[in-house]
Amino acid sequence: MRLMYFGADLPWPELLTEGFRRRNTWLLKSFNDSGYFDEVINVRKTTFINFFKQLLSRQQTKDHKDLYFTHFFPGTLLKGFISRMDFVINKLFIKVQGFDHFNDDENIIFCYWPAGFEQAMELRLKGRYFFDTDHNIIDDENLQPAKKEKQTKILLEAGEHCEFVISSARSMLDWYHNHGFDNTYFMRNGISPENFRNVKAMEQDFPAPIIGYIGTISRWIDYEVLKFLLKENPSWNFMIYGKEYKNKVSEELGRLPNCHFMGPLNPENVPSAIKSFTAGINLYRKEPWLDVDSMKLYEYLAAGTPVVSLKYHDHLEKDFNGQLFLADNAKEMNGILHDIIDGKLQQKDTAQFLEKNSWKQRVKEFYEDIIRT
């Protein structure tokens, strides 16, 4: 059985060098490591010029394989006979890349996000289709209204074409249920606990206590809570790691002397950075569509760092088996952080929780629940 994966961020050589950051790449790696499939192929759509560059410099190995395809004619001509010719040429070059008999009904076609699904549909592969939205990608306020109609169309098409629609957000699956679909599968995010073992804390240029955040600096964050914490605790240093996404909030908060925007971290440095935190915080706002299964929470726990989170959705206590310190507002979060710094609260043992919620376990459950049945 072969798994064709659409929607990874990078080719295998770059992933192995730069590390695995997001759900899509961790799933690709975990599928590949699982041993459940004869081959796991990272399918990459690319430009016409880059296609031939990749063809001439392929770095395929026994364990890591990329398959490239492209359009050989301008997009405006991809209709009727020209479209069929484009498809035939791609099939030829798939064979040139060493993938014989790739079009099989037993193939698992795993599509991450709408772009991954659309690319899979372009290749018209036979097989069992699965579509992973990750989180709620239809009600997210970052989705421009002009694009929502197209996004809706793709999501509905994926629901009709795929054996299962997968998400880590209950609100996304509820959206599908409300549109008449029952073929949904709840797959939460996970962690690779082994990456956090025997790791030393990163040396920081600022004295403790250090309150840390790792993640995208996006509109999802309640910046009023962060501002409150910063102003109430001028002797604490707040280390904020991540890139900005559709906002310039760091320009304002960065003027405060105890707020340090450090930019994005390389994946290999995430464990040591978190281990340097006195506490890790999560500041997502409470919105019906913002019930994301935040990977940072797993990472904080894996590093053995106390985790303080706003109660941004109602399932956090159950989902994380009581491992998080939850706050309803800024004042409560401030009090919890003071108790951690004063030694009144300590992080529970997380080993059993992490093993049950590893990426390895997520793929195992998906295989046993869906693929093998």
pLDDT tens string for the chain (373 positions)? 999 999 999 999 999 999 999 999 999 999 999 999 999 999 999 999 999 988 888 777 878 999 999 999 887 777 888 888 988 999 899 888 888 777 788 899 999 999 999 999 999 889 999 999 999 999 998 898 889 999 999 999 999 999 999 999 999 999 999 999 999 999 999 999 999 999 999 999 899 999 999 998 988 999 999 999 999 999 999 999 998 876 667 677 888 999 999 999 999 999 999 999 999 999 999 999 999 999 999 999 999 999 999 999 999 999 999 999 999 999 999 999 999 999 999 988 999 999 999 999 999 999 999 998 7
> Is residue 162 a contact partner of residue 111, using CB atoms and an 8 Å limit?
yes
DSSP-assigned letters across all residues of 287-347: -TT-----HHHHHHHHTT--EEEE--STTHHHHTTT-SEEESSHHHHHHHHHHHHTTS--P
With the C-alpha atoms ordered 32, 34, 35, 37, is the resulting torsion angle positive or negative?
Answer: negative
Distant-in-sequence, close-in-space partners of 232: CB < 8 Å, separation ≥ 6:
334
CB 192 within 8 A of CB 358: yes
Evaluate whether 127 touches 104 at the Cβ level (below 8 Å): yes
pLDDT of residue 250: 67
Tally of CB atoms within 10 A around 219: 15
pLDDT in the model for residue 81: 86
| Predicted TM-score (pTM) of this structure | 0.94
Q: Give the pLDDT score at 246.
A: 67
- Does the bond joining 267 to the residue before it have cis omega, within 30 degrees of 0? no
The answer to whether 191 touches 273, Cβ cutoff 8 Å, is: no
Question: CB-hemisphere CA count at 13 Å for 215?
Answer: 20
Phi, psi of 363 (to 5 degrees): -70, -40
Strand-pair partners of 221:
284
Q: Are 239 and 260 a contacting pair, CB within 8 Å?
A: yes
Rounded-to-integer distance, Cα 336 and Cα 323, Å: 14
Q: Which secondary structure element, helix H or strand E, spans residue 138, and what is its range? A: none
Q: Are the C-beta atoms of residues 274 and 300 closer than 8 Å to each other?
A: yes
d(CA 174, CA 353): 26
Cα–Cα distance measured from residue 332 to residue 283, given in angstroms and rounded to the nearest whole number: 13
pLDDT on residue 62? 79
What is the pLDDT, as a whole number, of residue 223? 93
Return the residue matching tokens 């440095």: 269
